[in-house]
Amino acid sequence: MQNMVAVSSSGKVGSGRWSLVADHDAQIVVEGGCRAEIIIADSDAVVKLNITVEPNALLSVVHAVTAGGTTTIDYTLLEGASCRVTEVVLTSSELNISARLDAPMASFELDGAFILTGDERGSVKVDVAHNVADCTSRTSFKGVASGRATGRFSGLVYVAPDAQRTNSEQSSRNVVIGDAHIDTLPQLEIYADDVKCSHGATVGQMDSEAVLYMRQRGLSLVDAKRLQIEGFVADVAMHSSISDTAERLTELISAKLETL
């Protein structure tokens, strides 16, 4: 985490690692050709962040939602820009992410998870717009809800009429424990004909065979369930877009799972 520079107001960022406290609206431009990492610190405010990734820049973003509030993050990707985002939602909150792929060869990847317990309510919305040809996007979001928690994922992939050779994947996988509830709404809106788009959504219970297997080896029911859920969501942290945040994200997830 050395050489971290805070982005306090709107402006341009170049190569390096930046921190951004999401307690005010901000307009950020990632300069063309650079490699930037932005770690977003959560706040309970209602904020909107606009992030433009200029041509051939590579941006990695990590955001752990720990304070709640409503966060809207709009990404605009220009030609050849790549953006990799890791989102971990650990409390009641509303998270709206949109990615506009506005020039060819842009690539957007989002891996995320929400873990909601008790009476928490969380909503995650991801809109990806393929406005031009030859762009790729991948969204993978996992949800875990226990107690009386309610989680919601809605994802929309839009492919404009001229956005040929679009390659897009979207998946939403969820595990519900007890009386909790998760809604998932994956949607595709495709107006081009030469595209490769997939989407899938599942909402399931715990895998009881795996729990039984772990218990046969001596783990308690509680530990077996926790380990299984940890395994389900841990890879989001382990494959964090900024690799040296993996450990911290794993700790946050483990601490949250203690409250399941």
Partner 1 sequence: MLKVENLHASVGDKEILKGINLEVKAGEVHAIMGPNGSGKSTLASVLAGNEKFTVTEGKVEFEGENLLDLAIEERSRKGIFLGFQYPVEIPGVTMANFMKLAVNEHRKARGEEPLSAAEYLKMMREKSAIVELDPKLTSRSVNEGFSGGEKKKNEIFQMAMLNPKLAILDETDSGLDIDALRIVATGVTRLHTPENATVVITHYQRLLDYIVPDYVHILYKGRIIYTGDKTLALKLEKEGYDWLINDYKEE
Which positions lie near partner 1, rule CB under 8 A?
A: 207, 209-210, 212-221, 223, 227-228, 230-235
- For residues 218, 220, 221 and 225, what is the CA-based torsion angle, rounded to 10 degrees? -90
What gap in Å lies between CA 230 and CA 14, rounded to an integer? 35
Smallest distance from partner 1 to CB 239, Å = 11
Smallest distance from partner 1 to CB 170, Å = 19
Smallest distance from partner 1 to CB 247, Å = 15
Select 23 or 230, whichever has its Cβ closest to partner 1: 230
Select 189 or 235, whichever has its Cβ closest to partner 1: 235
Q: Are 252 and 90 in contact (CB under 8 A)?
A: yes
Select 5 or 238, whichever has its Cβ closest to partner 1: 238
Tokens found for residue 64 = 């752990």
- What are the start-end ranges of the H helices in 39-176? none
Select 101 or 233, whichever has its Cβ closest to partner 1: 233
| CB burial string 176-191: b at 16+ within 10 A, e below | bbeebbbebebeeebe
Smallest distance from partner 1 to CB 203, Å = 17
Look-up: residue for tokens 């930046």?
18
